[in-house]
Structure 1
């Protein structure tokens, strides 16, 4: 049994990969018969959604509906490869703070991403030793709240908090009956969180209120 666990969202919480992801997607979209751009702003405004929803939003103006799933798959594959050698930007203090927290807590990642994305994050940032495990939408094909519940059961976690940056993250945490800590430096705003951090370095002191 795991007595003290911290579950993290990824995009907007641990790193900002929007520039790297848009670059990898552009390698795919620029090779199409009718090329179109995917901007960093496009990625920032859709991160946190599941990949099928992101693809529908960004590709629908340019691609026939029936062609979107194949293009989405190609972009996912390109992204997972690209991020291993062109990782996103870790938010300030993430590396040092994760190393510190991993000595006292069991750390996990739960994300709405595709299979292979968390592995690319861990490989590109070399932070794999800090985490006990991870789970994503690509593994479960379930809403994030359900995915959190699956991880809690799988790992035998007795007490945990979820750290994320969007209202969707907060809803998922509360669905799984977990307190939510809002990463206010990230991509989204929330209302109803149990705690908030303005920087990642604040997390260790805030966690003392939950364990």
Structure 2
């Protein structure tokens, strides 16, 4: 194994409180009479932005949904960069240990600028070689994983994520999937499972053995 590709939300951190505050601010500024809850965000985790808009803004037509999502994102990225999110326990120490033996990457179903906001606040970018998302490429998560593999000449990567969509994306890219069971989704089909990030280094050693 030469590399690890991570999902972001539900795998490396929980950004829901920060994202929720920024999105509700956007809705208020646009005069949209709705207040989103943490449960609303939880049920959309792992989806692309246009899919999230369809679920959260059912009262709007497609064009209005897209505009509302764009308005949310315009506030979200700088807000996340300023306030950060809740890192999962032992994240930095785990990344530090993994970085000694593997190249690390992020592929998330987020908008352009979101991963950069995560990097900006938490100062973890030096652990990662590259990242990708549909906000930049317009591609599916599986296609973005494949793009990262091709661009960085990865021969034997593994993908770590917390949802069935993550598992499907890893399968589409033809690589093993490790289920982060502490995240937001439920997955039954996986090559490995962790209940906390601190378990990942030891699990990966069994992959190599």
Fold shared per TM-score above 0.5: yes
- Between Structure 1 and Structure 2, how many residues are aligned? 208
Q: 1:142 pairs with 139, 142, 149, which one?
A: 139
Cα deviation code 1:134-171 (max 9, x no counterpart): 00111221111111111100111111100000111011
Name the residue aligned to 2:170: 173
Name the residue aligned to 2:195: 198
- Aligned partners of 1:161 and 1:76: how far apart in 2? 30
Give the Å deviation of 1:45. Answer: 1.2
5-14 or 139-148, which deviates more: 139-148
- Aligned partners of 1:121 and 1:138: how far apart in 2? 15
Give the Å deviation of 1:186. Answer: 0.5
- Aligned partners of 1:30 and 1:123: how far apart in 2? 26
- Aligned partners of 1:13 and 1:205: how far apart in 2? 17
Give the Å deviation of 1:65. Answer: 3.2
Cα deviation code 1:163-189 (max 9, x no counterpart): 000111011101111100000000111
Are positions 1:40 and 2:38 aligned together?
A: yes
Name the residue aligned to 1:157: 154
Cα deviation code 1:3-48 (max 9, x no counterpart): 6110000000000001110100011101223431111111111010
Instruction: Show the 5 A alignment for 1:58-137.
Output: 58-61=56-59, 63-137=60-134
Describe the SS at the equivalent of 1:46: coil
- Aligned partners of 2:68 and 2:31: how far apart in 1? 12
Cα deviation code 1:106-131 (max 9, x no counterpart): 00000110100110111111101110
For normalisation by structure 2, the TM-score amounts to 0.96
Describe the SS at the equivalent of 1:66: helix
In structure 2, the CA distance between the partners of 1:91 and 1:64, relative to structure 1 (3 Å rule), is: same
Give the Å deviation of 1:70. Answer: 1.5
Please tell me the root mean square deviation across aligned C-alpha atoms, in Å. 1.1
22-31 or 32-41, which deviates more: 32-41
